[in-house]
Structure 1
Amino acid sequence: MTEIQRYAAFSTDPAGGNPAGVVLDASGLDDAEMLAIAAGLGYSETAFVTGRPGGDGYRVRYFSPLAEVPFCGHATVATAAALGPGEHRFETNAGTVPVVVDESGVATLTSVDPHVSDLPADDLAALLATLRWSAGDLDPALPPKVAYAGAYHPVLAVTSRRRLARLDYDVPALKALMTERGWTTVQLMFRAGPAEFDVRNPFPVGGVYEDPATGAAAAAFGGYLRALGLVEPDATVLLRQGDDLGRPSRITVRLVPGEAGVRVSGAAVAIPGQPAPGKENAAVAIPE
């Protein structure tokens, strides 16, 4: 019988963070079975260790309730915590991701090389329409872009925390736009300080309304901040996510001069009792 572990990532409280499923031995599962497990859990992602390439390496795949995704940061943190302290190497569909877990259970992943591209004007207009935002809501100091560090995420910054808190998007329209463009989540943020941001991540293509914590988007956002010179070259950035959902998450993003990847750190804690959650306890289920 397949053993499914459940962790809350980017939190020390099982009631916070982003829940993730972890299957440490998925070598006997096919794609349909992994997708069925992910859909049954209802979490935004479940990680499956499907093999051991050798040494400290693990072949890891990630499934949302609707489809496989190339990389997932919070499920990486959860899987690394389940493996325990030490150095691990994850071979993902997006590339090699090293992860270090310290004795306190904090995991630090180093992303694949990030890159940032322009968000075409037509795509920006369509994205704003689906979010029910206007161009006047955007912070001109943080221009819209598309950032990548294993998955693609448009990045939009708003001028007020209140605007960020009032997220109410057109689910079918945003899902269709994201599917067409190959975007995994949308990184929405408000700059609260020189190296502090409040962030939210709609994820309708994965079958959930919103992620309470998104490590892949955090890595991409770190690449965005570095590429645009918006923080110091050796910055440590704090991302607050999940507060608006009642699942507070804290993500640390670190830029290391001379290192192409972005480091993303956070705690992960096992969810006591390991109950089967169902949709009501998923990241945030899309309303029926």
Structure 2
Amino acid sequence: MATVVAVDRHRAGTQARRYVVADVFATTPLLGNPVAVFLDSEGLSTERMQQIAREMNLSETTFVLPPDKGGYRRVRIFTPVNELPFAGHPLLGTAIALADADPVDSMELETHEATIPFTFTRSVEGVLSATMRQPVPEWQPYELLDTLLEGIHVTDPILPVEVYRNGPRHVFVGVSDIPALSAIRPDLLVLAKLPNVAVNCFAGSGYRWRSRMFSPAYGVAEDAATGSAAGPLAVHLARHGLIEFGRQIEIKQGVEMGRPSTMLATAFGSANRIERVEVAGSAVVVARGSLYV
């Protein structure tokens, strides 16, 4: 009883903030990439959101707010160390969590980078998957190539190493095959010298690819599923002739971490003009709770 009284006194003057945890780009709990979604974040300061993201200690935590620009909701996205203008798996998980409670067929979520449209595939049991239309990325050759290759111990990338920006910055390094991809042991101290970038290594062929992402700059040693990189990877492969524009590819990630994830990505247009980029996947809610702050 004494413990309960102490907890009640600690909660005095606080507000219960409801949240869910969803495993994203997976249909089975404890796979994919988790995200914590705070469903009602009005009144929270930026500093408090960052503290909560650090407390949750997941790769990303999202905070749902009323819209500013006519969208369904506004969403802010935090890693344990910083705020992101756009991110894929946290937004897809947030969209599915919101659509579970409201049987809409589509919604637009406002982010710092852009307003992101979502459409949903449903069954009688709920949302099966969501498709997001991502910002069309910009790209250029990566400026710190030598340090990058030193950090991942790759000497002969299969394609030009380029960095794409659709909010976060993603640099892509192709390796010869999946065993070579799985064998990468990154030097995170070297990669930490690369500012404001996530390092994505990939391998595969046809319409089936594998990826690994390392980003000390964003506070993530390795990520189980990076939705914001899935669209640019499809663009990268199509621009360099490894896949056709307009054909969906499957990207597996997180295998080496024991949290396999499946992302579907499509780049529409041509090498001269990217018309749109879509990324799709599933998510499953694995926890619900309240945080008293």
TM tier relative to shorter chain: 0.7 to 0.9
2:27 and 2:36 mapped to 1: Cα distance? 16
Select between 195-204 and 83-92 the one with higher mean Cα deviation: 83-92
The equivalences for 1:181-200 within 5 A come to 182-183=196-197, 185-191=198-204, 193-200=205-212
In structure 2, what is the equivalent of residue 130 of structure 1? 151
Q: Is the CA contact (8 Å cut-off) linking 2:71 and 2:110 kept in structure 1? A: no
2:219 and 2:26 mapped to 1: Cα distance? 23
CA change 1:206–1:274 in 2 (3 A) is: farther
1:37 and 1:194 mapped to 2: Cα distance? 41
TM-score by length of 1: 0.86
Structure 2 portions without partners, runs of 5+: 1-15
In structure 1, what is the equivalent of residue 265 of structure 2? 253
In structure 2, what is the equivalent of residue 281 of structure 1? none
1:261 and 1:255 mapped to 2: Cα distance? 6
In structure 2, what is the equivalent of residue 146 of structure 1? 163
CA change 1:151–1:206 in 2 (3 A) is: closer
User: What letter is aligned with 2:268?
Assistant: V
- Return the offset for 1:49: 1.5
2:240 and 2:135 mapped to 1: Cα distance? 18
1:105 and 1:203 mapped to 2: Cα distance? 30
1:26 and 1:274 mapped to 2: Cα distance? 14
- Return the offset for 1:250: 0.3
Q: Is the CA contact (8 Å cut-off) linking 1:114 and 1:260 kept in structure 2? A: no
Q: Is the CA contact (8 Å cut-off) linking 1:11 and 1:250 kept in structure 2? A: yes
Q: Is the CA contact (8 Å cut-off) linking 2:252 and 2:260 kept in structure 1? A: yes
User: What letter is aligned with 2:149?
Assistant: L
In structure 1, what is the equivalent of residue 79 of structure 2? 64
In structure 2, what is the equivalent of residue 99 of structure 1? 118
The equivalences for 1:1-288 within 5 A come to 1-53=16-68, 55-84=70-99, 85-103=104-122, 104-120=127-143, 123-131=144-152, 133-136=153-156, 138-139=157-158, 142-177=159-194, 179=195, 182-183=196-197, 185-191=198-204, 193-257=205-269, 260-272=275-287
Tell me how large the CA RMSD over aligned residues is: 1.9
- Which one has the bigger strand percentage? 2
- Per the alignment, in what secondary structure is the counterpart of residue 219 of structure 1? helix
1:233 and 1:165 mapped to 2: Cα distance? 27
Runs of 4+ in 1 over 6 A off after TM superposition: none
In structure 2, what is the equivalent of residue 279 of structure 1? none
- Return the offset for 1:16: 0.6
CA deviations 1:119-165 (Å, max 9, x no partner) are 23xx111101112x1323x22xx221112223210100001222211
Structure 1 portions without partners, runs of 5+: 277-288
> What is the percentage of aligned positions where both structures have the same residue?
31
